[in-house]
Structures are given as C-alpha cells and as structure tokens.
Amino acid sequence: MDKVLVLTPIKDASRYLPQYFERLASLTYSRDALSVALLESDSKDDTWEMANTLTERYKLQFSSLETFKRDYGFSIPEHLPRWSPAFQKIRRTILARARNQLLFRALKDHDWVLWLDVDVIGFPFDLIEYLIGFDLNILHPDCVTEGSHDSFDQNAWKDHGRLHMHDLRGTNQPVRIDSVGGTVLLV
C-alpha cells in the first residue's frame, strides 16, 4: 500500500485543531500507511500547545504524527484580513517557506503528500483512496466555501486566472489546470 503523508502548516489555528484531528481520525486510509505532520509558526494564540496536546492524544492512530515549530516573525495587523493586497507577497512567501520547512522535516519514504489546510471543515472519509485512484501525479479537488458554490481556493485556475475551479465543473473526471493552491492538494 502506498505511504501517504498529510502535511498542514498552522498559525493561530487553535479553534480548528480539535475538528481537524477528528476528521483525520475519520479517514479510512490504512493507518499503517498514513503519517501526519504539522508546522506551527508565529501564532499569537495557544495553537502550539494545543497541537502538541492533540498530537499526544492521536499519535497511536497513525504510522507517525509529528508537530514542528518554526517562527518567521511575520504577522498581519489585526484589523486587516489575511488577503489584504499589501501583505499578499510577503504572506505567500512566508507560507511557501513554512511549507518547504514542513516538507523537508517530515518527508521520509512516503509515496504521496496530501497538503490539507487546518480549516477545511469537511471531506469524504475516503478522500485519499479517491484521489490516489485517479493515478495522476498532482490532484487539486475543488473546495467550496461553506454556504456557497464558489471555489474557496482562488489560487487554482486555468487560462491565466480567468477560469477557476467552479468554472470547470460538470465532469466527474479531473480537468487540467495551470496553477494549484494548497487547500487540499495531493502530490
């Protein structure tokens, strides 16, 4: 069976962590082949402490479960949303660095990496089997915002950003896109 590593960068995510771990524990993929790693950075809340507590609670349910820490000294002023244009370049740069750090620390002999954002609130329990079943190197499922039909991840697009995932619906087969995001991404 293919070994899968679920990777999740986290920041100020304590409110999402209990449900995140519950959803991971509900996955139907073989526990002997499923590893999880999180990288916490620059949180102002108790994300680091909560991640470690939950890691201890759930660690026997996975082949491995690790939590790493790496601060970058970056924060967006509290009165601004994280998608504020003035902070996008630096925010995306720091996120890329955090993802690289997490990948370098956690990847061992895994066949697949599933990037999964901590605030994804629902997915099928057979998500991993379903995605691997397409036998493609990279898959980015269309994630929607709760209560909406629009795609959440606006970084997944085609045709120079003119078409997003919700514009490409209508088939149960994968569609080629030109850019991927990281909300849910199998590589």
Question: What CATH number is associated with residue 90?
Answer: 3.90.550.10
Q: How far apart are CA 104 and CA 45, in angstroms?
A: 26
Residue 90: CB atoms within 10 A of its CB come to 12
Kindly tell me if the per-residue pLDDT of 84 is higher than 70: no
Q: What is the pLDDT of residue 27?
A: 98
Q: How far apart are CA 118 and CA 10, in angstroms?
A: 7
Domain assignment of residue 179, yes or no: no
Domain assignment of residue 147, yes or no: no
User: Alpha helix (H) ranges present in 35-174?
Assistant: 47-58, 88-106, 127-132
Mean pLDDT on 158-173: 80
Q: Who has greater pLDDT, 178 or 12?
A: 12
Flag the least confident range among 7-11, 81-85, 111-115.
81-85
Domain assignment of residue 159, yes or no: no
Domain assignment of residue 153, yes or no: no
Q: How far apart are CA 8 and CA 17, in angstroms?
A: 11
Kindly tell me if the per-residue pLDDT of 129 is higher than 70: yes
Q: What is the total count of domains within the chain?
A: 1
Domain assignment of residue 119, yes or no: yes
Q: Provide the terminal-to-terminal Cα distance of the chain, rounded to the nearest Å.
A: 16
Kindly tell me if the per-residue pLDDT of 71 is higher than 80: yes
Domain range for 85: 4-133
Domain assignment of residue 46, yes or no: yes
Q: What is the pLDDT of residue 175?
A: 80
Taking the CA atoms of 17, 18, 21 and 26 in sequence, report the sign of the dihedral they define: negative
Domain assignment of residue 100, yes or no: yes
Q: What is the pLDDT of residue 83?
A: 67
Q: What is the pLDDT of residue 86?
A: 66
Domain assignment of residue 178, yes or no: no
Kindly tell me if the per-residue pLDDT of 8 is higher than 70: yes
pTM of the predicted protein model: 0.90
* Cβ atoms 152, 145 nearer than 8 A: yes
Kindly tell me if the per-residue pLDDT of 106 is higher than 90: yes
Residue 36: both structure tokens together: 């999880």
Q: What is the pLDDT of residue 50?
A: 98
Q: What percent of the chain has pLDDT over 90?
A: 62
Q: How far apart are CA 94 and CA 116, in angstroms?
A: 17
Average pLDDT, the chain: 89
Mean pLDDT on 157-175: 79
Q: List all residues 6 or more positions away from 28 whose beta carbon is below 8 Å from its beta carbon.
A: 125, 126, 128, 129
Kindly tell me if the per-residue pLDDT of 148 is higher than 80: no
Q: What is the pLDDT of residue 82?
A: 67
What's the pLDDT tens digit per position in 24-51? 999 999 999 999 999 999 999 999 999 9
Gyration radius (Cα) of the chain, Å: 16
